[in-house]
Amino acid sequence: AEAVAPRLAAITGGRFRLRIISNLADKRLVRAWTRIPPEAVGGEDIVKGIIEAWAFADADPYRAATHNKGIMNGVDAVVIATGNDWRAVEAGAHAYAARTGRYKPLSTWEIDEEGYLVGSLEMPLAVGIVGGATRTNPLARIAIKILGVKTAQELAEVIGAVGLVQNLAALRALAAEGIQAGHMSLHAKNIAVMAGAVGDEIDLVAERMVREKIIRVDKAKEILEEIRKTGKSSKAT
């Protein structure tokens, strides 16, 4: 913008004021797509629930806002890790979602003729792998190396794919156990780890805490001690 402003002023005979690019990068769209057999997500009922959850977002902007926020949970994580501007990406994504005059979900979910769940996502993603924090921040360089991307387009494709799968995870949770139950299970596992559980112990401790509706570190330690005592007794026998 800074470079072309004088040239444009000369051509038009006008003067320049705002020399800045837009964050609505709709000339740098990324698309992600997936096709999943019903059994991979829990069966036909779950697939139906996912479609209904998406349809709700497509019909209602209040639900669409939360739907897209879930997508951006995944998108922002990779954008931040690679040293890109997550605020610019967020602004562009939400502006693109409202481009028709009505705020809509960035993703689409449907069932194809063979009963497979088909999902797609389209959004603007102006990201880079050279310059700025992506070059000066050592952690950003490590993240890009781990991803194995060689171009900005490849990075955008990875980010789009993460956004789509994050959306699938959220919709599946809503269609199955519900977000709160899913978060509770994850929280219980974190508490189990804090209590010292490892390997298979983590799930055993977490499941029991959720079942007994007591999710605390002291409870996790108590359960873990019981599990380990039982394990030792079994081995001794």
CA quadruple 75, 76, 79, 81: dihedral sign? negative
- pLDDT tens readout for residues 36-53: 999 999 899 999 999 999
Is pTM beyond 0.95? Reply is no
Cα 206 versus chain centre, distance:
24
What would the pLDDT profile of 64-80 be if each residue is shown by its tens digit?
A: 999 999 999 999 999 99
Q: Which residues contact 49 (CB under 8 A, 6 or more apart)?
A: 171, 174, 175, 176
Backbone angles phi, psi at 183, to 5 degrees: -65, -40
- φ, ψ of residue 60 to 5 degrees: the values are -130, 120
**What are the residue boundaries of the structural domains of the chain, listed by start?**
29-176, 183-236
- Token readout for 195 is 């209590």
The domain 183-236 is placed in CATH, from the list 3.30.1490, 2.60.40, 1.10.8, 3.40.1350, at: 1.10.8
Assigned CATH topology for domain 29-176? 3.90.770
Strand partners for 111: 117
Tokens 């705020």 -> residue:
103
pLDDT in tens, 79-119: 999 999 999 999 999 999 999 999 999 999 999 999 999 99
Q: In 10 A of CB 123, how many CB atoms? A: 28
What lies within 8 Å, CB to CB, of 38 at 6+ separation is: 44, 46, 47, 115, 116, 117
Pick from 150, 159, 147: nearest CA to 123: 159
